[in-house]
Amino acid sequence: MPPAVTVALLAAAGVAALWGMRSGWQRRGERTAAAVPDLPDVPAADDRSLGAARTAPIEGTYVSSTVSGDWLERVVAQDLGTRSAAVVQVFDAGVRIERPGARNLFLPASALRAAGTSGGMAGKYVGGQGLVVLTWQPPASGAAALDTGLRLRRSADREPLLTAVRGLIDHTDAGDRTAGPDDAGTDTAGPNDAGAPGGGDKETA
């Protein structure tokens, strides 16, 4: 076979492969858009509505978000499928995740369900318990609960982050338990309502 024909065939195969990957990504985006129709607004880092900071800014990598309980079901809607650098900080109002080059995230305290660690998720395996995984329920109607994975630059930051997030969950649960008579009979999701995805050692507060 002439070299020119070989090159042309290889180029065509490469284009077909890229097209297939792009089409698959688009289909996943359409499917997960139904599961996550919208995300909470992200307050500016100096917004007083965030309340007191419970951690310093923590540098790391945003790995991915998946449907909670299924770490192979990566969510790509709302820019959640984009791996990026991240700066994570916990405030009284929730967890703020700044993502240079991608959409920032805010996990309200009332949306948090669990905080734990794992060795991998959605095709990213780091070994040990190198990922911090936050389980949360976006407030949009019909939204699925999500597991959001973060790999911190410094392992020493892992425990302070987990402790701060679990403190928010405990505080929210305590508020639910002391709700007034008008709230009686209302079921509220606690950290144990989010099942640990397979393969991880998900810990709940």
Please give the structure tokens belonging to residue 118. Answer: 């794992």
Taking the C-alpha atoms of residue 42 and residue 16, their distance in angstroms, rounded to an integer, is 38
pLDDT attached to residue 173: 81
| Residues in the chain, total | 205
Question: Is 3.40.228.10 the CATH number for 48-193?
Answer: no
For residues 7 and 90, give the distance between their C-alpha atoms in angstroms, rounded to a whole number.
Answer: 53
How do strand 84-91 and strand 58-67 relate by DSSP bridges?
Answer: antiparallel
- Report, as an integer, the average pLDDT of 192-200: 42
Q: Is the pTM of this model over 0.75?
A: no
- Looking at this protein, which amino acid is placed at residue 195? G
Each domain of the chain, given as residue ranges in start order, spans 48-193
Rg of the chain on CA atoms, in Å: 20
Q: Which residues lie below 8 Å from residue 96, measured CB to CB, with a gap of 6+?
A: 42, 43, 45, 50, 88, 89, 90, 104, 105, 106
Give the integer Cα–Cα distance in Å for 178 and 184.
Answer: 10
Per residue in 114-159, pLDDT (tens digit) is 999 999 887 678 878 899 999 999 987 778 899 999 999 999 999 9
**Three-state secondary-structure class, residue 187:** coil
Q: Which token pair is 178?
A: 């002391």
Structure tokens, 171:
């505080």
